[in-house]
Amino acid sequence: MLQQGLQELFAREGIERAAVLPFENCRVTMARLYTRVEGFVPQSVIVFLIPYFSREPENFSAYATAEDYHYFAKGLYERLNAALGALYPAATFLGFADHSPIDERDAAVKAGLGVFGKNRLLLSKEYGSYQFIGEFLSDLPVEMLGTVDAITETACMGCDACLRACPTGVLRGESAECLSAITQKKGELSPEEKALMRRVGTAWGCDECQKVCPYTKGALARGTARTTIPYFKENLITRLDSKTLDALDEEAFSRRAFAWRGRATVERNVKILEEDF
């Protein structure tokens, strides 16, 4: 549990779920991301959840309805880093999201923010799987930031709903890649890959394992899954089709989560769904 001042700092940004844990408890995956900061020796990590769900899109992953969250994260981390520096002027804080030196899901579970699902996602009581994970590494000892609660539950209930719903069977060990990865490939897709996209009805990503998860369904039913952060409620797209893409100039397109693979990839996917068979 974070100290009161830290809780209030994050709450002002719409972040209600944050916790601290010792850095030594984290699974380091890319140490170079923090060792390049001369003299920095991390002792603790503040892990937090960024809820993004606003509306259910028609034919793509929910995380991409708003503009790319990396733009939000950039401003968020600048504000939080300044506020953390004001609270702890002698300390150093390094913020990460997505491209992180630690296994974020593992850290979030160890911090008590959720459990690890069979769909390989973090599942929280509040948001299900509809959250991004962020963290700040700090050279302060844990006790200066808060207390570490005992964690008794780390894995999901194991109902296997996500395994049964997986379109490619990757979660069941029957395939090497998920449908989301297929939609993000460049170049020509195989007839089988195209048919799979049409069957599921996705032009980008895949949320099938999330939609059937009891944690996510429960969070949606309770209303807690919906974000209160304005960024994720503005400039929404709920359907990817030719008309939507044509309305996005290059600057607007570049700010979408699906832009990183290029316009040609997204246009190909839309064409696959719009082809008349």
Q: Which of 98, 139, 160, 241 is catalytic?
A: 98
6 in any annotated domain: yes
pLDDT at 149: 85
Q: State yes or no: is 246 an active-site residue.
A: no
Q: What residues contact residue 138 under an 8 Å CB cut-off, 6+ apart?
A: 42, 43, 44, 45, 46, 84, 88, 91, 92, 93, 94, 145
Q: Is residue 73 helix, strand or coil? A: helix
- Range(s) of the domain holding residue 51: 1-177+205-236
pLDDT at 202: 98
253 in any annotated domain: no
196 in any annotated domain: no
271 in any annotated domain: no
192 in any annotated domain: no
Q: What is the pLDDT along the chain (277 residues), one digit of tens a residue?
A: 899 999 999 999 999 999 999 999 999 999 999 999 999 999 999 999 999 999 999 999 999 999 999 999 999 999 999 999 999 999 999 999 888 999 999 999 999 999 999 999 999 999 999 999 999 999 999 999 999 988 989 999 999 999 999 999 999 999 999 999 999 999 999 999 999 999 999 999 999 999 999 999 999 999 999 999 999 999 999 999 999 999 999 999 999 999 999 999 999 999 999 986 4
121 in any annotated domain: yes
244 in any annotated domain: no
Start-to-end Cα distance in the chain? 55
89 in any annotated domain: yes
**What is the number of structural domains in the chain?**
1
